[in-house]
Amino acid sequence: MLDSHSSKHFLGIHALEFFTLFVLGALIALAAELPFGGWIQILLLSLVWWRLATLKTVPLKKYFLLGLVFGLGYFVVGLWWLYISLHDVGGMNPLLSCMAVFLLASYVALYFSIATFAIPLFKNNRLTGLLLSASWVIMEFLRGYIFTGFPWMGFAEVQFNGPFAPIAPIFGGLACTFLAVLTSWEIFQLRKHVASSVISIAAVIAISQLAGLLVFTKPFGEPISVRLIQGNFEQTLKFNQQAIGKQIDFYAAEIHQEPADLIIIPETAFPWPQNYLPSGLINYLQDFANVSSSKLLLGLIGETITGKGMQYTNRATGLSPDAPVYQYDKAHLVPFGEFIPPGFNWFVNAFHVPMSDFAKGSLDQVPFNIARKEQPDVFAAITICYEDVFGGELAARINHSKEPVNLLINMTNLAWFGKSQASSQQLRLSQLRSLETGLPALRATNTGITSVLGSDGTVLESLPEFTQATLSAKVQGYSGKTPYVIWGNLPILSISCLLLIWGIIRQRRF
C-alpha cells in the first residue's frame, strides 16, 4: 500500500508539478483563440520554463515525463475536436474515441517533451534560451515530417497575432517559433539578468517589426471576381444518398446564379465518385463555364489507376471555357481518414466512414490557370484541407512551379469537427501560408470559415460559420517570391542545427 508521501510523488516528482504543467499546457492552447494570442502564449511559456528550470533536483530522464505532461495538456485541449469526427460522425465507441484522441495527443507531446531536454542538458545559463529554441525548432520540423507529419497546433501560426509574424516571409513559421521560445525564455530570465534580458527582448521584437517593412511580392493586373459557395451541410448527411442528391443540386444551382472569373465550391462538395455523379452534371457545368466565361473549381471524389487497381482521390476539378478539364489530387493525405497506415485496418473499421483509403497525388501538380481576356492570366496553387498545414511543401511547389503562382486556394470541409475551434485553427494556418508566400488566398469551406485573405494574411472578407451563403468578392493577384519560398526551412534549420552542435561541443569542454 502506498504511504502518504509516495501517493504525492511519482518518480521523485510532486503531483502538484504534473498538475501545474498540464494546466499551463491547456492554458497555452486556449490562449491561441484569444486576441493577441501570440503575445499571451509567450508569457505563459515563460511560466513553463520557470517550473522546469527551477526543479534542480529532477534528473534528466524525469524532464521527459514533465515535458510530456505539459504537451498532453496542450494537445488534449487543442485537438479535442477529433472526438467529434470519431464519435459523432464516425460512430466510434466513446471510450475508444477518447483513447484515440489521448494517444494522438501523447504522440505529438513527445516532441515537446524531447525539446525541453535542452534545459537540463545545457544547464541553466545565458545560452540555454538559444539552445532551447533550436531544439524546439528541430523537433517541430520532425513533428511535421515523421510518419507523414502532424504539425497541427504549432506556436508559429499563433504568431500571426503575435510579435514575430513579420519574420515569416523571410524565414518561415519555424523562425517565428524560434523567436517565440527564445523571448519566453528571456522573460523567465528577467529575475536574474534584467538588463540583458530586456535588451534581448526589445531587440528581437524591434528587428521583427522592422522586417515587416520589407515587401517581396507586388500586385499585377486587375483584380479577379470570385464567388465562394458555403453549403453548410452536416457531415453525417454526406453518407445519405438522398441528402447527397440535394447537396449536388444545391451547388449546381448556386453556381448558375451568377457568373464570375472564378467560382469555387468546397472539398467533396460533390461527395460522390466522379463517374457516379448524375448523368450530364459535369457537361451542364462546363456549358455554363463556356457561356458565362466563368472558371469553376469543384470539390469531388476522383478515380485513378494505381498499383492497387482503381482508387479514389480527393480531387479538385477545374472547368474553364473551351479548355481541357483541370485536375488536382490531394497529395498529403490524412492518416486514418484518407489512407490506412499498415496494421491499422481494425481502427478504420471501427471508424464507420466509407472511402478511407485514397490514392495521393504528386507534389509537382501544375497550378490552375484563371485565364482572362486582355488581362494577364492568374495562376493559383491549390491545397485541399489538411495540406494547408505544410508550409514547406507549399513553398517548394510554388518555387519549382513552371508557371508563376499568383494566388493560393484552399478547399476544405471541416463539418467533420462540428462547432469547435478547428476552423479558427485552420484559418490561422492559411493566414501564415499567405504571409510566408506573400500571396492572397481564397478559402472555400463547407461550414466555415470561408474567407478572402490578403497577401499579408489579413482577413479581407469572410462568411459567418454554419450558414449557407455565398461570398462574392474581388481578389488582386500578386507576383514575385518571398525569401521563404526560395529558401524554405533550410536557413532556420541550419542555424538551429549549428547552435545545437555548438552547444554540445561547449558542454563537453566545460
Name the DSSP class of 88: I
Q: Which residues of 226-239 are buried (b: 16+ CB within 10 A; e: fewer)?
A: bbbbbbbbebeebe
DSSP alpha helices (H): ranges in 298-421?
A: 345-350, 391-400
Strand partners, 469: 230
Asked, as a colleague might, if the bond just before 263 is cis with ω within 30 of 0, I would say: no
**Is the four-CA dihedral 138, 144, 145, 146 of positive or negative sign?**
positive
Q: Are 440 and 407 in contact (CB under 8 A)?
A: yes
Annotated catalytic residue: which of 157, 267, 387, 436? 267
**If we measure between CA atoms, which residue out of 425, 417, 420 comes closest to residue 443?**
425
Query: Strand (E) positions, 123-243?
Result: 218-219, 224-230
Integer CA distances (angstroms), 129 to 64, 136, 433, in order: 18, 10, 27
Residue with cell 536574474: 192
Strand partners, 462: 451
Q: Which residues of 386-402 are buried (b: 16+ CB within 10 A; e: fewer)?
A: bbbbbbbbbbbbbbebe
Annotated catalytic residue: which of 186, 238, 385, 387? 385
Concerning whether 176 is annotated as a catalytic residue, the answer is no
Name the DSSP class of 167: G
Q: Which residues of 447-461 are buried (b: 16+ CB within 10 A; e: fewer)?
A: bbbbbbbbbbbebeb
Q: Which residues of 243-263 are buried (b: 16+ CB within 10 A; e: fewer)?
A: ebeebbebbbebbeeebbbbb
**Is the four-CA dihedral 485, 490, 493, 498 of positive or negative sign?**
negative
**Pairwise CA distance, residues 15 & 11, whole Å:** 10
Annotated catalytic residue: which of 17, 238, 254, 330? 330
Q: Helix, strand or coil for residue 253?
A: helix
Concerning whether 374 is annotated as a catalytic residue, the answer is no
Q: What interhelical angle do 37-53 and 60-78 show, nearest 10?
A: 150
Catalytic residues: 267, 330, 385
